[in-house]
Structure 1
Amino acid sequence: MTDVTAHLAEAADQPTLERLWLLFRHDMSEFSGSLPAPDGSFRSDRLQAALTQADWAPYLLTSGASPVGLAFVRSLAAPTRVLNSFFVVRGARRTGIGLRAVQEVVAKHPGPWEVAFQESNVAAVAFWRRVATEIAGDAWAEERRPVPGRPDLPPDTWITFDASTEVQG
């Protein structure tokens, strides 16, 4: 499993994205302390925004015929795009699929980017620093910002980089 395609989700992809969203939120609950609702679902406001709002682009990540993840981009009309949610299923992790998926999504929306992650998510820390370096070389920055409306959580770590031109390796 080395190939990946990031395609802009269509209405027919919504059930798949909803299932992947549950897996993503379950993974993230380790770092946010969030629990499922009584029906077993997790908060889905970002999923709904990605599927319905014009300033968002929801991508379904596939390897062959298998869904392997999702990527939600927001702030398409703003000067800086935000990779709001990114998830790769565990069976596809550490195969290079995540890096290739981010590169493909970012290439579809050239310009400045921001990505947030939790410092306690050690795998995400290494992944996003590698992604930034692969896309922007040494021209990326990292800072910590408070989580809006969640003073009980540690600050998020944000990586910023510009994907206007591809780094030659």
Structure 2
Amino acid sequence: MPDGPDGPDVSLSVAGVADLPVVERLWLMFRHDMSEFHGLLPRADGTFRGDRLRTAFSEPDWVPYLLTSGDSPAGFAFVRGLTGPTRVLNSFFVVRGARRTGIGLRAVREITARHPGPWSVAFQDANSAAVRFWRRVATEIADDAWTEERRAVPGRPEAPPDVWISFHARAATHD
């Protein structure tokens, strides 16, 4: 991965239709990682549900981002609620080879600065890496002005509640 002054470089771009095949492959990796916490297996064709993937590319209140490091895809982020009172980081993924390099934190900082205001992010308690990551992100972006709560998963009473972190992001400033 190319290095910048703060570690490996990350570029963030709005993913278009031409990026869909790359994001679809990253989506399979993401869903595979999440299957550990949800106990889900792929469908008979080896894929996982892709409704959020399709929605991110088709709904006007959503935006899909592609994260790259140099010429390599490094992850993605799906944001929803662009016109609502709170933006939600609906899905966020960094490939394993780029984790713990600072790429994820830099990407979230840039995404939230592009869409300033209230934010919420959901994750599972069982995913200890996500717990540490999102608490660090919230602290980096909002200092100690963030909250954490558990909410039932809609339509899945058997599932453990999601953990939701909420914070306020400021607009990007240019020096």
Q: TM-score range by the shorter chain?
A: over 0.9
What letter is aligned with 1:133?
A: T
Query: How many angstroms does 1:107 deviate by?
Result: 0.9
> 1:74 matched to which residue of 2?
80
Q: TM-score, normalised by structure 1?
A: 0.96
1:31-85 Cα offsets, whole Å, 9 max, x none, are 0111101000001000000011100000000001000000000011001000000
Query: How many angstroms does 1:6 deviate by?
Result: 1.3
> 2:4 matched to which residue of 1?
none
Q: In structure 1, what is the Cα distance between the partners aligned to 2:125 and 2:162?
A: 7
- Given the alignment of the two structures, is residue 111 of structure 1 paired with residue 148 of structure 2, yes or no? no
Taking every aligned residue pair, what percent have the same amino acid on both sides? 70
Q: In structure 1, what is the Cα distance between the partners aligned to 2:137 and 2:143?
A: 9
Q: In structure 1, what is the Cα distance between the partners aligned to 2:34 and 2:157?
A: 17
1:145-169 Cα offsets, whole Å, 9 max, x none, are 0011111210000000000367xxx
State which of 136, 145, 154 in structure 1 corresponds to 2:160. Answer: 154
> 1:7 matched to which residue of 2?
13
> 1:93 matched to which residue of 2?
99
Q: In structure 2, what is the Cα distance between the partners aligned to 1:145 and 1:6?
A: 30
State which of 137, 141, 145 in structure 2 corresponds to 1:131. Answer: 137
Runs of 4+ in 1 over 4 A off after TM superposition: none
Contact 2:113 2:171 in 1 (8 A): no
Q: How many residues align?
A: 166
Q: In structure 2, what is the Cα distance between the partners aligned to 1:112 and 1:36?
A: 34
- Given the alignment of the two structures, is residue 43 of structure 1 paired with residue 49 of structure 2, yes or no? yes
SS at 1:132 equivalent:
helix
Contact 2:122 2:163 in 1 (8 A): yes
Query: How many angstroms does 1:143 deviate by?
Result: 0.1
What letter is aligned with 2:150?
A: R
Q: In structure 1, what is the Cα distance between the partners aligned to 2:38 and 2:76?
A: 19
> 1:56 matched to which residue of 2?
62
Q: TM-score, normalised by structure 2?
A: 0.93
1:129-150 Cα offsets, whole Å, 9 max, x none, are 0000000000000000001111
Contact 2:115 2:171 in 1 (8 A): no
Contact 1:112 1:164 in 2 (8 A): no
Task: Structure 1: state its 5+ residue gaps.
Answer: none
> 1:20 matched to which residue of 2?
26
- Given the alignment of the two structures, is residue 31 of structure 1 paired with residue 37 of structure 2, yes or no? yes
What RMSD over aligned residues (CA atoms) do the two structures have, in Å? 0.9
Task: Structure 2: state its 5+ residue gaps.
Answer: 2-7
What letter is aligned with 2:107?
A: A
Contact 2:112 2:170 in 1 (8 A): no
What letter is aligned with 2:23?
A: L
